[in-house]
């Protein structure tokens, strides 16, 4: 007959509550009861709408992946950006420019050159817009004697922008820096040389933040009809907040103008512009404005999505910060994986329009983007590794 199954581990007989299985069950029941009691006590002072906040860390990041398969696949090509090309930064620079990592955070284009900043590096990378591989035309630009980076600090560069009315004037923004008891952005005016850059001045923002990780994550500039240069800073978190940063639908852009102070200079807040509440991004990582058509692009790293709209009153040279408003626009997905429809562009942190307008001044169609290093220690799936620390070209569908 069939043999009776026997465990390889020998146990001595125990009676009653001393049995291991009973003890484990009782422990589990006690733990569950304790958790239920804890939640019960917490929710006595909460509304039911607050309860999901307890589990926020386990929420899945929303995306439109349902369009990848089934009956919804008919819409896939209409809502997904078309990949043109990807290049890793280590593949663009000769000998990788002696850099070990490329935590790319923003990009802008001037003439035939792309300028890229990394929040891990004090170098700024000048890249030929044809993206030649392992080319001497792609160079890291280091700070000259005008600026000594703080020892043992990453740059925190999250934004690079160019004043289109002046060929030589560039700005970079350090996201959020602690100084004199508060966190604010540091806005550095730069001039580029053949192989280095000069820091002309450093000004703080009037806008302050809750900490060093949720400040200005993107930015651009517009010249006003009053002749003033306005810098537009995109807050990383909703409400410009770290504490309430994941409360989707509350993206903000801070309009700033430079002013003299007794201690030097600062970028004073002129107004905060609200992105449409329909832009339900968990975070905001970059912004670009096409000067002639007023087309706006805003990215989310966590959603792996792009919102495209318009900024009324946002034409360069005619910008009116008090009248400017964002239109509703449309959300697009960055390309997903073929098999599982997962996000593959998980770390988009910079965006810039690189094509001119179409016939009749219609919206441009081509964008350049850069990607940060993927998060370590299992905080992102392995599929994110392929596209990190790279530069990309996309076209709108």
Decide: helix, strand or coil at residue 302. coil
Residue 4 lies inside a defined structural domain of this protein: no
CA 133, 135, 137, 142 dihedral sign is: positive
| pLDDT (tens digit per residue) in 250-303 | 999 999 999 999 999 999 999 999 999 999 999 999 999 998 899 999 999 999
The predicted structure's pLDDT at residue 3: 40
**Integer CA distances (angstroms), 114 to 4, 130, 227, 280, in order:** 73, 9, 26, 30
Q: How many domains does the chain have?
A: 2
Tell me the C-alpha distance between 250 and 18, whole Å: 56
Residues 134 and 33 in one domain: no
User: For residues 86 and 389, is the Cβ–Cβ distance under 8 A?
Assistant: no
HEC profile of 258-274: EEEECCEEEEEEEEEEE
User: For residues 292 and 338, is the Cβ–Cβ distance under 8 A?
Assistant: no
Residue 229 lies inside a defined structural domain of this protein: yes
Residue 108 lies inside a defined structural domain of this protein: yes
Residues 300 and 362 in one domain: yes
**Integer CA distances (angstroms), 7 to 3, 11, 22, 205, in order:** 13, 9, 18, 69
Residues 225 and 353 in one domain: yes
Q: Which CATH number do you get for residue 230?
A: 2.115.10
The position carrying tokens 């923003």 is: 106
Domain with 88, as residue range(s), is: 73-395
Residues 159 and 223 in one domain: yes
Residues 90 and 208 in one domain: yes
Residues 177 and 255 in one domain: yes
Residue 5 lies inside a defined structural domain of this protein: no
Residue 51 lies inside a defined structural domain of this protein: yes
Residue 6 lies inside a defined structural domain of this protein: no
Residue 3 lies inside a defined structural domain of this protein: no
| pLDDT (tens digit per residue) in 19-64 | 444 444 444 445 545 544 544 544 444 444 444 443 344 344 445 5
What rounded mean pLDDT belongs to the chain?
85
In this prediction, residue 121 has a pLDDT band, given cuts at 50, 70 and 90, of very high
Residues 159 and 182 in one domain: yes
Read off the tokens for 391: 């530069």
Decide: helix, strand or coil at residue 384. helix
Residue 312 lies inside a defined structural domain of this protein: yes
Read off the tokens for 148: 């000594």
* 147-151, 215-219, 269-273, 305-309: least confident range: 147-151
- Dihedral class, residue 66 (left if φ above 0, else alpha if ψ from -120 to 50, else beta): alpha
Residues 81 and 202 in one domain: yes
Q: Torsions phi, psi of 299, nearest 5? A: -110, 155
Residues 389 and 318 in one domain: yes
Which of the pair, 358 or 288, is modelled with greater confidence? 288
Residues 129 and 31 in one domain: no
pLDDT, mean of residues 8-25: 38
Residues 336 and 215 in one domain: yes
Residues 369 and 339 in one domain: yes
HEC profile of 193-240: CCCEEEEEEEEEEEEEECCCCCCEEEEEEEEECCCCEEEEEEECCHHH
């Amino acid at each position: 007959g069939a043999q009776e199954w026997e465990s390889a581990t020998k146990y001595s007989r125990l009676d009653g509550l001393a049995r291991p299985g009973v003890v484990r069950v009782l422990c589990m029941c006690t733990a569950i009861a304790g958790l239920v009691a804890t939640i019960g006590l917490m929710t006595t002072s909460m509304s039911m709408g607050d309860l999901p906040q307890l589990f926020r860390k386990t929420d899945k990041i929303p995306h439109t992946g349902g369009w990848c398969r089934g009956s919804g696949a008919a819409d896939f090509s209409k809502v997904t950006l078309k990949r043109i090309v990807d290049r890793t930064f280590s593949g663009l620079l000769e000998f990788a420019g002696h850099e070990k990592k490329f935590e790319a955070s923003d990009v802008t284009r001037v003439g035939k050159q792309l300028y890229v900043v990394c929040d891990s590096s004090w170098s700024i990378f000048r890249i030929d817009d044809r993206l030649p591989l392992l080319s001497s035309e792609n160079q890291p630009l280091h700070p000259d004697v005008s600026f000594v980076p703080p020892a043992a600090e990453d740059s925190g560069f999250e934004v690079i922008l160019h004043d289109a009315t002046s060929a030589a004037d560039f700005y970079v923004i350090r996201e959020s820096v602690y100084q004199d008891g508060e966190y604010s952005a540091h806005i550095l005016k730069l001039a580029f040389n053949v192989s280095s850059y000069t820091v002309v001045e450093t000004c703080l923002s009037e806008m302050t933040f809750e900490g060093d990780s949720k400040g200005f994550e993107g930015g651009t500039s517009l010249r006003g009809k009053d002749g003033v240069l306005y810098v537009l800073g995109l807050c990383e978190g909703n409400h410009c907040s770290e504490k309430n940063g994941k409360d989707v639908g509350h993206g903000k852009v801070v309009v700033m103008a430079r002013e003299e102070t007794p201690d030097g200079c600062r970028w004073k807040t002129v107004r905060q512009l609200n992105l449409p509440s329909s832009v339900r991004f968990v975070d905001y990582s970059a912004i670009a404005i096409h000067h002639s058509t007023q087309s706006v692009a805003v990215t989310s790293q966590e959603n792996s999505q792009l919102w495209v709209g318009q900024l009324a009153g946002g034409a360069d040279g005619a910008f009116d910060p008090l009248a400017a408003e964002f239109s509703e626009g449309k959300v697009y997905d960055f390309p997903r994986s073929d098999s599982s429809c997962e996000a593959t562009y998980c770390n988009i942190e910079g965006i810039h329009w690189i094509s001119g307008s179409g016939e009749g001044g219609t919206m441009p169609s081509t964008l350049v983007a850069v990607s940060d290093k993927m998060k370590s220690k299992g905080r992102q799936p392995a599929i994110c590794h392929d596209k990190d620390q790279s530069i990309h070209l996309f076209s709108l569908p």
